[in-house]
């Protein structure tokens, strides 16, 4: 078969896929141990022993069999207790589906809600996989911009509400936002919730960075203000605040009426999440609070160092993030961030994410994940100096 025929023989959905531009840069250097990897959203530290030990004990006890579609009941209960203690939300296990990662939670949600052609409103800049997941299911994406105004990232709420027309199916809100760190206030969440109730619009809240918030124990969450029957799906993950990116474990919270349907959808996707990984999740929720405190202290140091370093370059402009663990900074004169990230990687062996990966608005920016020890960040900036000062 010729190349073109081969290409046409696969689904239109697969054909239409565009590569993640973060991943495209990372693939160029991921296997080189000399590279300082600041491209992905992941911390440099190991998962804490209490979590690792729980997984090992579970595996040794023979927990290697298929699991219930919606997740092990013990973990679903632990998620409810965690949410109640943290957010004051009264969810019950029927609302919780465990997923093999936050990403899987997003695609499951998109498959659950979207019929091809549905209008889905998303905020940009955005982690590309959010938009990618909804596009894959045939959504028509309408973007509303988070913009930099007077040294703050801001969302024009009026603009968002205007975009949330009666024929909108879903609005996806990732707060704290990857890459900017912008965080939606409770007041804004109330307005959006009321509006969506009026028009019957689903809210998909990507709450993956809720704990990585710089102004309190957690960022404002729709789960704190919603009723159990509201059209709300919260997507969450163990990856970030418990340093568990490679474990692939997450969860979603949805109205209880859809427990069986989400179970069916899981059956034909992944069928279930590994049982010993779920055991690790229970340990994280029940005994991992110190781990989060420790990570927050470490990323505070990482942020301060990064901010101090970035401030020394007159070409660089950045806004203090409210949450997550990224600096999304603009470099004066930078017109092709993908090419720049590629050159930076080649010449300095520092891996950064190109701003354009987060949408056209991100062109001219680079994203750096500062969840790294001080010596690593110092070395990274030493290498980046010639690029950023030019
Ligand atoms: C906004 C956002 N949502 C979801 C995820 C998914 O995380 P994971 O698939 O590792 O659980 C990420 C990871 O970078 C993210 O940044």
Q: Is the CB of 245 under 6 A from ligand 1?
A: yes
Q: Is the CB of 127 under 6 A from ligand 1?
A: yes
Write down the pLDDT at residue 2.
84
Ligand 1 centre to CA of 325 (Å) is 12
Write down the pLDDT at residue 18.
86
Q: Is the CB of 324 under 6 A from ligand 1?
A: no
Which atom from ligand 1 is nearest to the alpha carbon of 126? 1
Q: Is the CB of 306 under 6 A from ligand 1?
A: no
From 105, 126, 178, 324, the mutation candidate for ligand 1 (largest count of ligand atoms within 8 A of CB) is: 178
Q: Is the CB of 208 under 6 A from ligand 1?
A: yes
Pick from 140, 137, 149, 107: nearest CA to 122: 140
Q: Is the CB of 132 under 6 A from ligand 1?
A: no
What would the 3-class secondary structure string for 209-266 be?
CCCCECCCCCCCCHHHHCCCCCCEEEEEECCCCCCCHHHCCEEEECCHHHHHHHHHHH
Residue ranges in the chain whose pLDDT is less than 50: none
Which residues partner with 142 through β-bridges? 121
How far apart are alpha carbons 343 and 353 in whole angstroms? Answer: 12
E strand or H helix at 110, and its extent? Answer: helix 102-113
Structural tokens at position 331: 């470099």
- Domains of the chain in sequence order: 3-47+290-389 (3.90.1150.10), 64-287 (3.40.640.10)
Q: Is the CB of 206 under 6 A from ligand 1?
A: yes
Write down the pLDDT at residue 1.
73
Which atom from ligand 1 is nearest to the alpha carbon of 102? 11
Q: What value does the CA radius of gyration of the chain take, rounded to a whole number of Å?
A: 21
Write down the pLDDT at residue 253.
98
Write down the pLDDT at residue 387.
92
Q: Are 355 and 344 in contact (CB under 8 A)?
A: no
Q: Are 282 and 54 in contact (CB under 8 A)?
A: yes
Write down the pLDDT at residue 85.
96
Which atom from ligand 1 is nearest to the alpha carbon of 101? 11
- Helices (H), strands (E): how many in the chain? 15, 14
Q: Are 284 and 52 in contact (CB under 8 A)?
A: no
Write down the pLDDT at residue 369.
98
From 22, 102, 324, the mutation candidate for ligand 1 (largest count of ligand atoms within 8 A of CB) is: 102
DSSP character string of 297-360:
HHHHHHHHHHHHHHHT-TTEEE---SBSSEEEEEETT---HHHHHHHHHHHH-EE-EEGGGG-G
Give the sign of the dihedral formed by CA 232, CA 270, CA 238, CA 366: negative
Nearest residue (by CA) to ligand 1, atom 2, is 208
Write down the pLDDT at residue 13.
87
Structural tokens at position 306: 């990064």
Could you give the C-alpha distances from 1 to 7, 11, 12, 15, 217, in angstroms and in order? 10, 16, 18, 17, 57
Which atom from ligand 1 is nearest to the alpha carbon of 206? 3
Nearest residue (by CA) to ligand 1, atom 8, is 102
Which atom from ligand 1 is nearest to the alpha carbon of 41? 14
How far apart are alpha carbons 88 and 86 in whole angstroms? Answer: 6
Ligand 1 centre to CA of 67 (Å) is 23
């Amino acid at each position: 078969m010729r190349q073109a025929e081969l290409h046409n023989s696969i689904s239109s959905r697969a054909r239409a896929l565009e590569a993640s531009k973060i991943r495209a840069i990372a693939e160029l250097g991921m296997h080189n141990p000399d590279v300082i990897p600041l491209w992905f959203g992941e911390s440099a530290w190991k998962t804490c022993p209490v979590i690792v030990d729980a997984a090992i004990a579970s595996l040794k006890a023979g927990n290697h069999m298929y699991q219930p579609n919606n997740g092990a009941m013990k973990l679903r209960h632990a998620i409810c207790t965690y949410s109640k203690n943290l957010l004051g939300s009264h969810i019950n296990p029927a609302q919780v589906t465990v997923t093999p990662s936050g990403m899987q939670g997003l695609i499951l949600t998109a498959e659950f809600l979207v019929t091809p052609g549905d209008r889905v409103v998303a905020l940009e800049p955005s982690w590309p996989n959010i938009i990618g997941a909804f596009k894959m299911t045939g959504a028509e994406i309408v973007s509303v911009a988070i913009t930099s105004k007077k040294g703050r990232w801001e969302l024009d709420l009026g603009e968002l509400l205007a975009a949330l027309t009666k024929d909108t199916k879903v609005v996806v809100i990732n707060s704290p936002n990857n890459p900017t760190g912008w965080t939606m206030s409770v007041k804004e969440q109330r307005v959006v919730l009321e509006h969506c109730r009026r028009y019957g619009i689903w809210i998909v809240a990507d709450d993956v960075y809720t704990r990585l918030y710089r102004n309190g124990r957690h960022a404002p969450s729709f789960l704190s203000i919603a009723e159990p029957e509201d059209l709300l799906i919260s997507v969450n993950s163990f990856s970030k605040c418990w340093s568990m990116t490679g474990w692939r474990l997450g969860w979603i919270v949805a109205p209880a009426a859809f427990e069986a349907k989400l179970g069916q959808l899981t059956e034909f996707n992944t069928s279930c999440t590994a049982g010993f990984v779920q055991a690790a999740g229970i340990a994280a929720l029940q005994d991992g609070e110190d781990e989060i405190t420790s990570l927050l202290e470490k990323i505070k140091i990482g942020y301060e160092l990064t901010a101090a370093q970035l401030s020394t370059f007159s070409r660089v402009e950045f806004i203090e993030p409210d949450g997550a663990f990224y600096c999304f900074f603009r470099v004066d004169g930078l017109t092709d961030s993908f090419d720049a990230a590629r050159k930076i990687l080649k010449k300095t062996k520092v891996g950064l994410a190109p701003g354009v990966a987060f949408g056209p608005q991100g062109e001219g920016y680079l994203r750096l994940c500062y969840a790294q020890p001080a010596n690593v960040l110092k070395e990274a900036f030493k290498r980046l100096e010639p690029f950023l000062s030019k």
